Structure 1
Amino acid sequence: MKGQQLKVAVENEVLSISIGVDILCHACETGRMYGLDGIKITDKELFLKGMVLQLCREEEDGTTPVHEMFDNAVSQMLEDGEEGVDLKDE
């Protein structure tokens, strides 16, 4: 399972987002973040604990990076004219 590709699915009324830890670490090491050519993970367990903490880190209003991810996805759906979502009528 640690080599599982990114998977996003709805099964049994649950939205599930999963990725194997080896794939996640590889993606983070080879990705281009903040103008860098990648990073080096020196301690996988500590890195993964830190990743979880950051994804769950709450702002003053209670939002987390995961909430922002969902907000961005819905905004993109609206922009793309996806079916099943629309702006509220006032």
Structure 2
Amino acid sequence: MDESRQSPSGAGAVLRKLAPPPALCGFLLLLALIFAASYGVGVSAGPVAPGMHGTGSSSGGGTDGGGGGDDMGDMGNMRGGDH
């Protein structure tokens, strides 16, 4: 009777000890699914502000009037105190 209660020895027992618990695997899977869903919703919603463009597409002309890209727009003149 005592032999049936002993833990199995060998490579299978070592692999079971090193494997993460199933609850952790399920949590990480759920986290990845939620991230993928939120990323998909964000991509389908588009940019937050009108005129917002990606930084990689502009080559520096600045003629789009959106104020985006490499220039600072009107914020370049913001300084605290006296000049």
Q: Same fold (TM over 0.5)?
A: no
Hey, which of these two has a bigger chunk of helix by percent? 2
Which one has a bigger Cα radius of gyration? 2
Hey, which of these two has a bigger chunk of strand by percent? 1
Give the alignment's TM-score, normalised by structure 2. Answer: 0.24
